[in-house]
């Protein structure tokens, strides 16, 4: 495994830990998780809908659905940054 992939794995782990802690600290845990997942899935749909005009595409599979559901809009932004800088 090269150092770039290790760095991304560590960064994603820290990010998801921070997201999980913020959900725990909110007073409405399940509502917070539901709204974050809904926002993430809507933003993933919007990116793929507008992607043909700006030449950016995030494939829809289990991993991208999981990242967008757990991370919300910021998860989709992370995937966009990885798509732009890795390819």
pLDDT, tens digit, 9 for 90 and up, residues 36-47: 889 999 999 999
CB 23 within 8 A of CB 36: yes
Beta strand extents in the chain (DSSP E only): none
Q: Find out whether 40 and 68 touch, Cβ atoms under 8 Å.
A: yes
pLDDT tens for the chain, residues 1 to 87: 577 778 777 877 887 788 778 778 878 878 888 888 899 999 999 999 998 888 888 889 998 898 888 888 888 988 888 887 775
Contacts 24+ apart (CB under 8 A), 14-23: 15/71, 15/74, 15/75, 15/78, 16/70, 16/71, 19/70, 19/71, 19/72, 19/74
């Amino acid at each position: 495994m090269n150092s770039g992939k290790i760095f991304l794995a560590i960064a994603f782990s820290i990010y998801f830990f921070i997201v999980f802690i913020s959900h725990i600290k909110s007073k409405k845990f399940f509502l917070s998780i539901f709204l974050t997942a809904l926002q993430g899935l809507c933003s993933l749909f919007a990116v793929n809908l507008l992607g043909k005009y700006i030449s950016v595409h995030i494939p829809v599979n289990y991993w991208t659905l999981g990242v967008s559901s757990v991370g919300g809009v910021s998860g989709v932004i992370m995937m966009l940054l990885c798509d732009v800088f890795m390819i």
